[in-house]
Structure 1
């Protein structure tokens, strides 16, 4: 099953659905009975993000049309913002991004997924390759339309001594899946995979990750936090596989979420598959409500209940945002969260 193939051929039966184990909570085949018509050409709109003032290059990909390659030479350094836009009247479209960072190169990549019209089906494939000693920080802002359907599938390959850090921030959509698969060679390479979903209304978001540790001396640190309210639904699927012989792997995964209404839902599936002996691996998963004692204390000090809930929720997801290394992007991420929590 393939979203790319379904859009290319117009055959909705190729979409993944609930009978596919990794897609059982994000059923596209049951939702989309007919592939929309191909998206027309469209024009980019002004970027209101504070990141527009951060310098670096901004690239617009509109309805699947635009540049699809980014190369950072050995020893080079770049800050690039890549916008994937679905305009009013958009139908179905595929887009690709190929990223290559040479030996010792550094890249801060900001991706935004923005939708302005209902009913689109957007699919984006991202391929990232890091050479020895390269360093990449990827930050994803997903602001799809409430009635849009969006799939982002990223594949990351690390070389020895490379460092890859990722933070995904999403407000959800009618259906949305952001998947990241990482081939980890060990050999001193470092990986951080973080995410935060803030969902309301009937928004859905699916954050799925798969990390394969293939060699000795590799590290992975993963932290995802979520907040759901109204009738929204959050999905977290995290799988870390430690292959035979990948000794001295250090892999940690945490998923923690808040449910702020009775009709909201969270589905979580953290997995560790370990085929080596000399490893340090752990995962944690908690789902609950806001601390009533903290809410009571804030209200006793004269804070309105809604403001207290927003502040406590912002502090909860702030741990993810604080791990973003680039200062300007970190400030933009804090503002993004504040807007959606009405701070």
Structure 2
């Protein structure tokens, strides 16, 4: 079952449902009774500039699923690329993109999801890194609050490659950012980070699956979320260390703040280890703001709304600070500050 298949066939029975373990908190079949008509074409030249366009050397726009993007960086070359997935209207569409890096290539991929309307959208990405390639993927997911949007990335690494990712999600009626990685070991390094900031009735699901298949692989993962009002955050992280993938170093953390009595966070961090001589761990915590820290800030004359915003910014700042591309890091930091302060 997949959203892309349901859109292609217009068959609601093909939508993922809570009967599938990985979709039990983001049930689409129970939400959508009929798949909408296909989305109308959109002229990318009429949508203006994206959040990262001024940082990029090249920009690709996939509007309402039309014109799939193919991004290639040749061996030994470096590039900064903006990839924009645009959704407009009330229709349904499936978008595709392919990203390939040659041996020793370097890419900063600045990816945005920009929506307006109650659309149904699926995005599929195939990302491949050759030996020694380095890719930093920064995702700013700004879907419409009435939309249903699913992004699924399949990442394949070669030995000695390095892939770093930060996803910043503001949610939607249903929003899911899924990343699946095949990790070969061989000194390859993987970093999967995420931030979700949700209010109103928004829902965001950050799901990751990593399969370690060889010796000497590294995975570091940190996700933090803040939810308020009637919003719902979902984190699902699974790391599988296959038999023979010895000396794997894999560490996963998820931490969330709930700032409302009706807000909800569901988390499922998992480790499956079938190898010896590994260093693997995971941590998970869900709670409220530290009242002592809030009291201390108010005693220093900081109004309570500002004090709450400062504390929550510091909480998620640990993830944002891990973005290596400084200019993009400041854009994500400003995005986070605006969302937190208006709450």
- State TM-score, norm by structure 1: 0.98
Deviations 1:74-113 (A, max 9, x none): 00101001110111x2410001011100000000001100
Whether 1:37 aligns to 2:37 is yes
Within 2, Cα distance between the matches of 1:55 and 1:17?
38
1:151-300 pair list within 5 angstroms: 151-300=150-299
The question of whether the paired residues in 2 share the 8 Å contact of 1:40 and 1:90 is answered with no
Q: What is the Cα-based RMSD across aligned positions, in Å?
A: 0.9
Within 1, Cα distance between the matches of 2:101 and 2:210?
20
The question of whether the paired residues in 1 share the 8 Å contact of 2:257 and 2:289 is answered with yes
Within 2, Cα distance between the matches of 1:52 and 1:168?
17
Whether 1:100 aligns to 2:100 is yes
1:44-123 pair list within 5 angstroms: 44=44, 45-47=47-49, 49=51, 51-87=52-88, 89-117=89-117, 119-123=118-122
Within 2, Cα distance between the matches of 1:261 and 1:94?
34
The secondary structure found in structure 2 opposite 1:342 is helix
How much has 1:43 moved relative to structure 2?
3.0
Within 1, Cα distance between the matches of 2:49 and 2:227?
27
How much has 1:72 moved relative to structure 2?
0.4
The question of whether the paired residues in 1 share the 8 Å contact of 2:50 and 2:84 is answered with no
How much has 1:215 moved relative to structure 2?
0.2
The secondary structure found in structure 1 opposite 2:260 is coil
Within 2, Cα distance between the matches of 1:90 and 1:175?
15
Structure 1 gap ranges (5+): none
**In the comparison of the two structures, how many residue pairs are matched?**
340
The question of whether the paired residues in 1 share the 8 Å contact of 2:111 and 2:140 is answered with yes
Using the TM superposition, name which of 39-48 and 131-140 deviates more: 39-48
How much has 1:66 moved relative to structure 2?
2.5
- State TM-score, norm by structure 2: 0.98
Within 2, Cα distance between the matches of 1:338 and 1:43?
32
Within 1, Cα distance between the matches of 2:149 and 2:50?
21
Within 2, Cα distance between the matches of 1:170 and 1:205?
7
Q: Which residue number in structure 1 is paired with residue 24 of structure 2? A: 24
Within 1, Cα distance between the matches of 2:241 and 2:336?
34
Provide runs of 4+ in structure 1 moved above 3 Å.
none
